[in-house]
Chains A and B, each alone.
Chain A
Amino acid sequence: MTYDAKLRVWRGDADGGELRDFTVEANDGEVVLDVIHRLQATQAGDLAVRWNCKAGKCGSCSAEINGRPRLMCLTRMSTFAEDDVITVTPMRTFPVIRDLVTDVSYNYEKAAQIPAFTPQPRDADGNHRMQQVDVERPQEFRKCIECFLCQDVCHVVRDHEDNKKVFAGPRFLMRLAELDMHPLDNLDRRKVSQENFGVGMCNITKCCSEVCPEGIHITDNAIIPLKERVVDRKYDPITWLGAKIGRRPHS
């Protein structure tokens, strides 16, 4: 089954741009990325779009479709009526490079600032031992494909450019939580989570969890537990006393 889909695609660069209307053939079973590719191959050879796997595994083709942050490769055309106009715009939280491609370097900068994984030594036989039940919590967060849709939707940075300096965004708060729950990691990142990465700024609206294409419970399973751990450290009276008398308490 083939029909003419109506697309409205943002075209432009850092200096500005506009929505342009296109009519592009769409076939049975296709996703928005297929139609964008056809647009590129037949009408707009220089239309800039990032993509790789086209199977929801790499997190490259993030955009906003009818205003909602989504992966283009996982948005089926059948979710729209044939006469709907499908509006595709670049992620709003990041500076536009060109057309649907944005500058996501904010994310790579935050990633580089997080204190690295610091493992305990191996057992005498050269292996690490961990129980499945203990790896499963951080494993959920390692499903993250770094599409940065959670970063895009998060209103802490979406509407407040200044906050980018002090707020790492859901993806990297989740990375901090992951390291905190990693059975082999030995480093305490609670202080930096609060002071450098702004875990306190998250007010748990759960928008990030809603747009996550991997269905990770970012807020419930990562950020809230991280907040609790940070608060624990900060307000627990014994911890406080320990810190005051200069001896680091065992946590």
Chain B
Amino acid sequence: MAELERHHYDVVVIGAGGAGLRAAIEAQASGARVAVVCKSLLGKAHTVMAEGGIAAAMANVYPEDNWQVHFRDTMRGGKMLNHWRMAQLHAQEAPDRVRELEDWGALFDRTPAGLISQRDFGGHRYARLAHVGDRTGLELIRTLQQRVVALGIDVFMECTVTRLMTGPDGITGAFGYWRESGRFISWQAPSVVLATGGIGKSYKVTSNSWEYTGDGHSLALQAGATLVNMEFVQFHPTGMVWPPSVRGILVTESVRGDGGVLKNSEGTRFMFDYIPEYFRKETADTIEEADRWYDDKRNNRRPPELLPRDEVARAINSEVKAGRGTEHGGVYLDIASRRSKEYILKRLPSMYHQFMELAEVDITAEPMEVGPTCHYVMGGVEVDPDTAAAKIPGLYAAGEVAGGMHGSNRLGGNSLSDLLVFGRRAGASAAAYAQAHPVTAAQLDDDAVAEAGKAALAPFEREGGENPYTIQHDLQQTMNDLVGIIRTEPEMREALDRIEELKKRVANLSVEGHRQYNPGWHLALDLPHMLKVSECIAKAALERQESRGGHTRDDFPGPTPEWGALNVICSEHDGSISLLRQPLPQMPEDLATLFEETPA
């Protein structure tokens, strides 16, 4: 391919969110030559949207907090389906990962003693989230971005990877295109770190940006790696519902952590009616106790508004279905009547700004209307916990694209810490692997590169085909309606039929214009990824005949012990997705004793 731009690196990191940047920093510190490749400009990745904070048992506010408590909260929040070793490493290492951000310039809010302040969040026993107002993600990404720039790491901005290159011994590199010019580019590298985030753009109502098209999940399958538990998709309980154009945009859980409560159209704090047996012991059952908890956590239990996200999202869904929703099909989230204007402006400035600008709602004076929005995929690339290695030599995954860490449901705040803990581990492992398997050994297969280029240009070759935006819209509607927050077998079968139809339509679509900065073409190349992950989600969801965390089956309500011991693994063979039930890794005895009751 004459026009191909070629590069050689030790480690190629795909994605420049928190996980990708942290991986790049570590790989470079380990002596590797590193490239970061990202679809947007540097600093715009989805991490920037994270609001509440970074969960880490630093014990700055509650000395009782420690990694064991955080580990326990995380496992229970994930309904015990988490890979225990990932949850352990995460809880143990998160405090150090937060502290080192300060060495790189981060400025967290402080305690009176001058330490990093920590706030309350759903499912966390103690106030544990290091934060900066409600713009923690921005602080995280800016800090890592500035560190990457200071280290002089090469960043390929607005550049999309469409294929991973593999040889008999594993990864040999990656292939992609510059979004600006449409020109092709290849990286020869023995190690690739996937840090591509999630899949939310396959859903109509989502808090995720356009970048979340499941590229990393799909690339991993294409390279021969496996995905674990793709059925678990988190619907964040509080997305905006009005006006329609902002439907799905996130309303941070901090609103509830800082005193906000959920009410239905009758003015009832309905969450008291939805406390599951599993969390009854640790949840307040009266309004009085719940309200005392904010100031006295030792003698009171947590308000039910701060149950894990899956519980709250289902409760809101039920209230709306029962006819107790708001005018626009949500419920009320009220902090205005509970906290002073000054407090709200100090703690939740971005939320104030967001509602003022987008909905003309003053959250210090009136309640917000909120409802569930597709937010996060717990499922992802199956990795070794200690090294973040996928099943293909040289391939690593960290952050949302990796699976296992969060089980069936992720706790708020555990995502940012996940990015840092496993981003660092992936970067170190990828660098070590590259040093042991030098780049000269990794030869890109010219035929495969030529084939990747041909595939990328195919949408221009066809004329009169369908427009990619319509197909994307139909996929989003399908996943929203048929593989959403509540699922049934007939609906998921219908979704899979529709996905097969959509695949045919994608194969025939065409794009107008030329290769220079052409969003229609870019979307046409993202669509196969979106379809592949949607198929994995629907198939895995059909397979798991129980309800657990971010997977609720109307036809199989409640969890079962049998399924509680199984992961669902997706792999791809000759273009079709197959499933495997795989026993959960066994938690060692010393950790198992941290759970006083056995999970369902």
With A45-B511, A45-B512 known to touch, is A55 a contact of B354 (CB < 8 Å)?
yes
B139's contact among A29, A34, A142, by CB below 8 Å, is which?
A142
Cα A49 to Cα B523 in complex, Å, equals 13
With a CB–CB cut-off of 8 A, which chain B residues contact A190?
A: none
A-B CB proximity, top 3 nearest: A29-B243, A46-B513, A45-B520
Question: With a CB–CB cut-off of 8 A, which chain B residues contact A179?
Answer: 105
Proximity bits, A185-200, B CB within 8 Å = 1, else 0:
1000000000000000
Q: Give B204-258 interface residues, CB cut-off 8 Å to A.
A: 209-211, 242-246, 249-250
Q: For chain A residues 100-114, which have a beta carbon within 8 Å of chain B? A: 101, 104, 108, 111-112
Return the chain B residue nearest A113 by Cβ: B149
A116–B146 touching, CB < 8 Å: yes
Q: From B43, B137, B473, B518, name the one whose CB has the most chain A CB atoms within 10 angstroms.
A: B43
Q: Judging by beta carbons under 8 Å apart, are B242 and A29 in contact?
A: yes
Enumerate chain B residues within 8 angstroms of A59, measured Cβ to Cβ. 44
- B50: min CB distance to chain A, Å: 9
Q: Which residue of A47, A97, A101, A126 contacts B99 across the interface (Cβ within 8 Å)? A: A126
Contacts of B516 in A (CB 8 A): 13, 48, 97-98
What is the 8 Å Cβ interface bit string for chain B, positions 489-519, against chain A (1 contact, 0 not)? 0000000000000000000000111101111
CB within 8 A of A55: which of B99, B108, B150, B358? B358
Partner of B244, one of A29, A60, A76, A126: A29
Instruction: Say yes or no: B210 contacts A142, CB within 8 Å.
Output: no
B residues within 8 A CB of A101? 180, 517
Please choose the segment from B20-28, B109-117, B284-292, B574-582 that sits at the chain A interface, where 4 or more of its residues have CB less than 8 A away.
B109-117
Contact of B521 among A46, A60, A215 (CB under 8 A): A46
Q: Is the CB of B44 within 8 A of A60?
A: yes
Chain B positions near chain A (C-beta within 8 angstroms): 40-44, 46, 48-49, 99, 102-105, 107-110, 112-117, 132-133, 135, 137-139, 142, 146, 149-150, 157, 180, 209-211, 242-246, 249-250, 350, 353-354, 357-359, 467-470, 473, 511-514, 516-521
Q: Are A41 and B467 in contact (CB under 8 A)?
A: yes
B43 and A146 contacting across the interface, CB-CB below 8 Å = yes
A139 to chain B, nearest CB (A): 5
**Does the CB pair A46–B249 fall under 8 Å?**
no
Residues of A with C-beta under 8 A to B242: 29
User: Is A27 located at the chain interface by the 8 A CB criterion?
Assistant: yes
Which of B99, B114, B150, B517 is within 8 Å of A48, CB to CB?
B517
A97 touches B517 (CB 8 A): yes
Task: Supply 16 further A-B pairs (C-beta < 8 A) apart from A48-B518, A60-B44.
Answer: A27-B245, A29-B245, A30-B243, A41-B467, A46-B520, A52-B40, A52-B44, A52-B209, A56-B354, A57-B350, A76-B357, A97-B516, A98-B516, A139-B132, A142-B142, A143-B138
Select B107's contact among A53, A98, A138, beta carbons within 8 Å.
A138
Whether A130 and B99, one on each chain, are in contact in the complex, defined by CB atoms closer than 8 angstroms, is no
* A139-B107 contact in complex given A13-B516, A53-B209, A112-B149, C-beta closer than 8 Å: yes
User: Which residues A109-168 have CB closer than 8 A to chain B?
Assistant: 111-112, 116-117, 119, 122, 126-132, 135, 138-139, 142-146
Cα–Cα distance between A34 and B40 once the two chains are bound (Å) = 19
The answer for the CA separation of A52 and B557 in the assembled complex, in Å, is 37
Chain A minimum-CB-distance residue to B515 = A46
**Given that A54-B249, A132-B110 are known contacts, is A45 also in contact with B150, CB under 8 Å in the complex?**
no
Q: Report chain B residues within 8 Å CB of A135.
A: 107-110
A28 within 8 Å of B by Cβ?
A: yes
Q: Measured between C-beta atoms, what is the minimum distance from A69 to chain B in Å?
A: 16
With A119-B103, A139-B107 as contacts: A54 and B209 at CB distance below 8 Å: yes
Contacts of A214 in B (CB 8 A): 353
Bound Cα distance from A99 to B514, whole angstroms: 13
* Residues of B contacting A52 in the complex (Cβ-Cβ under 8 angstroms): 40, 44, 46, 48, 209-211
Chain B's nearest CB lies how many Å from the CB of A146? 6
Nearest B residue to A47 via CB reads: B519
Min CB distance A181 to B, Å, is 10
Known interface pairs A128-B102, A129-B113, A135-B110; A46-B209 also in contact (CB < 8 Å)? no
Tell me the nearest residue of chain A to B240, going by C-beta: A55
A184 to B100, CA, bound (A): 13
Closest Cβ of chain A to B564, distance in Å, is 36
User: Are the CB atoms of B519 and A48 closer together than 8 Å?
Assistant: yes
A51, closest chain B residue (CB): B210
Min CB–CB distance A113 → chain B (angstroms): 10
The answer for the CA separation of A130 and B108 in the assembled complex, in Å, is 9
> Which of A41, A46, A215 is within 8 Å of B511, CB to CB?
A46
Partner of A132, one of B109, B157, B357: B109
Q: For the complex, what is the distance from the CA of A57 to the CA of B105, rounded to whole Å? A: 20
A56 to B209, Cβ gap below 8 A?
no
Q: Are A53 and B48 in contact (CB under 8 A)?
A: yes
If A45-B520, A142-B142 touch, whether A57 touches B49 (CB-CB below 8 Å) is yes
Q: Which of A7-32 contact B (CB under 8 A)?
A: 13, 27-31
**Whole-angstrom CA separation of A45 from B519 in the bound complex:** 7
List chain A residues, Cβ under 8 A from B46: 52-53
CB within 8 A of B135: which of A27, A50, A143?
Answer: A143
Query: Contacts of B117 on A, CB cut-off 8 Å?
Result: 132
Smallest CB–CB gap between A112 and chain B, Å?
5
> Within 8 Å CB of A111, what residues of B?
146, 149
Contact of B246 among A29, A42, A108, A116 (CB under 8 A): A29
Report if A40 contacts B (CB, 8 A): yes
A215 and B432 alpha carbons, distance in the complex (Å):
45
Q: Residues of A contacting B108 with CB < 8 Å?
A: 135
**Nearest residue in A to B207 (C-beta to C-beta)?**
A55
CB distance from A14 to the nearest CB of B (A): 10
Residues of B within 8 A of A54 (CB): 209, 246, 249
Nearest-CB distance from B349 to chain A (Å)?
Answer: 8
User: Please, could you name 15 A-B residue pairs with CB atoms under 8 Å apart, sorted by A?
Assistant: A34-B245, A50-B41, A52-B46, A52-B211, A53-B44, A59-B44, A97-B180, A116-B150, A130-B107, A142-B132, A144-B142, A179-B105, A182-B107, A185-B105, A214-B353
Contact A129 B517 (CB under 8 A): no
Given the contacts A45-B512, A182-B107, A55 and B520 also touching, CB distance less than 8 Å: no
Complex Cα gap A104–B41 (Å) = 9
Separation in Å of the A140 CB from the closest CB of chain B? 10
Q: Which residues of chain A are within 8 angstroms of B110 by Cβ–Cβ distance?
A: 130-132, 135
> For the complex, is A201 an interface residue (Cβ under 8 Å from B)?
no
* B114 and A131 contacting across the interface, CB-CB below 8 Å: yes
Chain B residues near A13: list those with CB within 8 A: 516
Q: Are A56 and B357 interface neighbours, CB within 8 A?
A: yes
When chains A and B are docked, how far (Å) is the Cα of A57 from the Cα of B99? 25
Q: A127 contacts which of B49, B99, B211, B350 (Cβ < 8 Å)?
A: B99
Min CB gap A131→B, angstroms: 6
**A41, A56, A58, A129 interface centre (most CB from chain B within 10 Å):** A58
Q: How far is the CA of A116 from the CA of B358 in the complex (A)?
A: 36
Q: Which of B49, B107, B243 is close to A58, meaning CB atoms less than 8 Å apart? A: B49
Whether the Cβ atoms of B43 and A55 lie closer than 8 Å is no
Given known A30-B245, A41-B467, A52-B44, contact A99–B517 (CB-CB < 8 A) = yes
Instruction: Report how far A9 CA is from B328 CA in the complex, Å.
Output: 33
Given known pairs A97-B180, A127-B99, the reply for A74 and B519 (CB within 8 Å) is no
Q: Which residues of A contact B358 (CB under 8 A)?
A: 31, 55-56, 74, 76
Inter-chain contact A145/B102, CB cutoff 8 Å: no
Look across to chain B and name the residue whose beta carbon is closest to the beta carbon of A38: B469
Whether B40 contacts A45 by the Cβ 8 Å rule is: no
What residues of chain B lie closer than 8 Å to A51, measured between beta carbons? 210
Bound: A239/B280 CA distance, A: 67
Chain B contacts for A45, CB-based, 8 A: 467-469, 511-513, 518-520
Q: Are A28 and B249 in contact (CB under 8 A)?
A: no
